[in-house]
Amino acid sequence: MGTAQIQGELWGQSPQGWAEVHEPQSHPLWEVMLDKTGVVAGSRFLDAGCGAGSLSLMAANRGALVSGLDAADGLLSYARSRVPAGDFRQGDIEQLPFADNSFDAVIASNSVQYAADRIATLRELRRVCRPNGTISACLFGPPERVAYTALFQALAATMPQKPQGGGPFELSAPGVFTALFEEAGLTVIERDEIDLYFRYPDFDTFWYANMSSGPFQGISRAVPEDKMRTAVAAVMDPFIASDGSVNLGPNAWAYVIAKP
């Protein structure tokens, strides 16, 4: 089974929580990336690894002509409903089904690290971007600056072996992501980080949203969900307020801006 198929099954297994609760909380990061890539009215924009389409909708609201690609059909149904005029396709980010020089701006949010061949993926982003366009990608920053690290460590302790496919911190070590861009022939013009806080009204909503994610779904193939929930609950005290609400942060997200 190829990486795209594996990730498509994981992220598409139970997409509702991710689409409706978790994904929209990345808006502050995406506003920065849309600004940095120059997405305005009339821009031809590709959301590579578009998920449920929240970023695509933000681009469409700026007047961009939106295309998107994702491996998870369940998430694509949300993207298509959010941006009816968009061109959304199911496929592999390592083999984009778009012609050369098609887009003014290309963003890959939380997707490159899950590809089997990251260099091939970045070269594909470069191929479909116009010569004067801009490319950006983002992922978790160093684990020590990410609140989610405590959760993943707790879950890792429950697992008999590491799940298939790339993990959320695969490219998070200092300098690794930027070096991959350069190896793929891209010219990096900026690398920075922004902190995101993920907020939920209660633990049940937090769990619902996160069980929709690819990493949690991957772990659930080897570990019963009740065991996962118990392990995570044991490390959540620092993030739970007196009213029971969850404020999971800060989470450093690293983004790179590059030219083809």
Locate the domains of the chain by residue range: 3-142+164-197+252-259
pTM of the model: 0.91
* Mean pLDDT within 5-30: 78
Beta bridge partners of 152: none
- Domain 3-142+164-197+252-259 in CATH 3.40.50.150: yes
| Tens digits of residue pLDDT in 88-109 | 999 999 999 999 999 999 999 9
Q: Nearest CA to 114 among 3, 213, 205?
A: 3
DSSP label at residue 182: H
Do the Cβ atoms of 69 and 48 come closer than 8 Å?
Answer: yes
pLDDT band at 229 (very low <50, low <70, confident <90, very high): very high
- Asked whether residue 214 carries a pLDDT value surpassing 90, the answer given is no
Q: How confident is the model over 27-55, as a mean pLDDT?
A: 98
Per-residue pLDDT, averaged over 226-234, amounts to 96
Q: What's the average model confidence in pLDDT over 208-234?
A: 90
Concatenated DSSP letters of 125-164: HHHHEEEEEEEEEEEE--GGGBTHHHHHHHHHTT-SSPPS
Average pLDDT of span 190-208: 96
Return d(Cα 114, Cα 51) in angstroms, integer. Answer: 13
